[in-house]
């Protein structure tokens, strides 16, 4: 099985390199690299703090994702739709449906055989975690583009809330954190990141006063110039059991928390007297907004990696006309680290991730948006693997050296050193394996944990 192969590979590398790597690390520490970082951290943990670590630096432009004139609004078709079409083209009509039927049969067999990580309780844990997300649709229910239940200021007999942009940003960020955001930042609206279509309707920008969803289109008012970008931390205990139903529960929970968080924040903003559109994966690309809001950097995964939670986050956002101070992109040395690391690409069982030393403008399929620089992935291979393991995979998220519990101060020291001493990047990558990170944890053991997981950074 894939998880066993993955553990064997990691175990082999661990035995070969562990002792040498740790001795070398000791040499580096003795040479002063890490002590400098410890000293700068004040010798104290910083990850549990709301305040960002010193080594996360604000910059004027994102470190990766540079655009050319070719960049334009994306179709909005997601990988599920694209995979189905490509599968039919490559393997013939009905091939997708046959694959689905085989998958359902295989999963039932695994449940009957009580295969660890795929037993009935494992599967239903995942189903329960997805509940809120699966009950949403763009522009309706929790993701309504107009108010659900909150009273307007006029109904309460007061005027709309006003404050300087910096104070407004603080107020909105505080509310977002209360509702579940692990990280939150403000980016300017960029029409280029908004999908062309969804639910068979156009998404258009108009000189309207309020957002609207009609029979023919989704209307975003041009006054919506602010995007509250949010990262929801995933449950690392569950994610470390990927690719199983337990790993998929981490994904489902992240999405359901996202839906709750953006719905609550949109109501809060409407209650202050402004317009708000909550969005999870729908309506627009989440990653470029998150990069511009300073939530993290674009990585070799072609996904966001955050300094605090690595790539183990789900992204969501709220568009609004509430004026707030914008945040800046950040640089914590990730792109340089990714050049040498490649651990996600090595861990990926489908070969979907790039091994190229340098990012480029060369896309790998219709799922990639042309006209920006990145390490592009083969989403067809990735999704094909999902079909084989019956759930979303997530191995790459779990394997990234930045995916660590935020409370562990030693990880902050390593991340801090990586941000200022790129020469140590390769070593930290080896140490990560040597210390056993990225190995799949025993699925059965999750159920007997005391207390059960739920640590969200």
Q: Does 382 bind ligand SF4 (CB under 6 A)?
A: yes
Mapped to the 3 state alphabet, what secondary structure does 207-261 carry? CCCCCEECCCEEEEECCCCEEEEEEEECCHHHHCCCCCHHHHHHHHHHHHHHHHH
Q: Does 291 bind ligand SF4 (CB under 6 A)?
A: no
Per rule CB under 6 A, count of chain residues that contact ligand SF4: 25
Q: Does 350 bind ligand SF4 (CB under 6 A)?
A: yes
CB 288 within 8 A of CB 65: yes
CB 238 within 8 A of CB 250: yes
What is the CB neighbour count within 10 angstroms for residue 52? 17
Residue whose CB is less far from ligand SF4, 154 or 410: 410
Q: Does 354 bind ligand SF4 (CB under 6 A)?
A: no
Q: Does 342 bind ligand SF4 (CB under 6 A)?
A: yes
Residue 241: HSE in the Cβ half-sphere, 13 Å Cα cutoff: 25
Q: Does 123 bind ligand SF4 (CB under 6 A)?
A: no
* Closest listed residue to residue 181, CA positions, set 173, 190, 189: 173
Q: Any bridge partners for residue 35, and if so which? A: none
Question: Which of the residues 388 through 427 are near ligand SF4 (CB under 6 A)?
Answer: 393-396, 399-402
> Of 14, 241, 317, 343, which one interacts with ligand SF4 (CB under 6 A)?
343
Q: Which stretch binds ligand SF4 (CB under 6 A): 56-64, 72-80, 153-161, 337-345?
A: 337-345
CB 223 within 8 A of CB 245: no
Mapped to the 3 state alphabet, what secondary structure does 135-164 carry? CCECEEHHHECCCCCCCCHHHHCCCCCCCC
Least Å from the CB of residue 117 to ligand SF4: 15
Q: Does 246 bind ligand SF4 (CB under 6 A)?
A: no
Q: Does 299 bind ligand SF4 (CB under 6 A)?
A: yes
Q: Does 431 bind ligand SF4 (CB under 6 A)?
A: no
Residue whose CB is less far from ligand SF4, 28 or 396: 396
- Point out which residues bind ligand SF4 (CB under 6 A): 299-301, 305, 337-338, 341-344, 348-350, 352-353, 382, 385, 393-396, 399-402
């Amino acid at each position: 099985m894939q998880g066993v192969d993955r553990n064997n590979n990691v175990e082999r590398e661990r035995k070969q390199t562990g002792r040498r790597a740790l001795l070398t690390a000791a040499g580096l520490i003795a040479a002063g690299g890490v002590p400098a970082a410890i000293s700068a951290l004040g010798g104290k943990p910083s990850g549990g703090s709301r305040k960002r670590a010193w080594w996360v630096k604000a910059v004027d432009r994102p470190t990766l994702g540079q655009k050319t004139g070719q960049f334009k609004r994306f179709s909005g078709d997601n990988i599920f739709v694209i995979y189905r079409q490509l599968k039919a083209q490559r393997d013939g009509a009905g091939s997708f449906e046959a694959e689905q039927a085989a998958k359902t049969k295989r999963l039932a067999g695994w449940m009957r055989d009580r295969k660890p990580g795929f037993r009935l309780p494992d599967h239903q844990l995942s189903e329960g975690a997805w509940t809120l997300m699966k009950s949403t649709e763009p522009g309706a229910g929790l993701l309504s583009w107009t108010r659900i239940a909150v009273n307007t200021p006029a109904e309460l007999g007061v005027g709309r809330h006003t404050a300087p942009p910096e104070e407004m940003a603080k107020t909105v960020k505080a509310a977002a954190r209360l509702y579940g955001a692990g990280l939150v930042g403000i980016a300017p609206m960029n029409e280029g990141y908004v999908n062309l279509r969804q639910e068979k309707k156009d998404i258009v920008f108009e000189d309207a006063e309020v957002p609207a969803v009609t029979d023919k289109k989704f209307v975003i008012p041009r006054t919506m110039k602010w995007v509250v970008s949010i990262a929801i931390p995933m449950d690392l205990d569950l994610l470390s059991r990927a690719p199983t139903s337990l790993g998929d529960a981490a994904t489902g929970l992240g999405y359901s928390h996202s839906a709750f968080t953006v719905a609550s924040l949109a109501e809060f903003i409407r209650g202050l007297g402004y317009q708000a559109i909550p969005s999870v994966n729908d309506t627009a690309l989440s990653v470029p907004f998150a990069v511009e809001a300073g939530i993290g950097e674009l990585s070799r995964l072609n996904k966001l990696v955050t300094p605090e939670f690595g790539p183990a986050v789900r992204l969501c956002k709220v568009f609004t006309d509430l004026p707030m101070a914008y945040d800046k992109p950040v640089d914590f040395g990730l792109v340089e680290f990714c050049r040498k690391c490649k651990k996600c690409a090595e861990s990926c069982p489908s070969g979907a991730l790039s091994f190229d030393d340098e990012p480029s403008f060369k896309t790998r399929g219709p799922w990639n948006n042309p006209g920006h620089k990145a390490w592009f992935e083969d989403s067809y291979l990735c999704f094909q693997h999902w079909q084989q393991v019956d759930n979303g995979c997530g191995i790459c998220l779990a394997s990234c050296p930045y995916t660590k519990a935020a409370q562990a101060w030693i990880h902050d020291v390593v991340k801090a050193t990586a941000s200022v001493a790129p020469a140590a990047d390769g070593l930290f990558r080896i140490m990560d394996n040597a210390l056993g990170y990225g190995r799949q944890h025993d699925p059965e053991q999750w159920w007997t944990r005391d207390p059960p997981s739920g640590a969200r950074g």
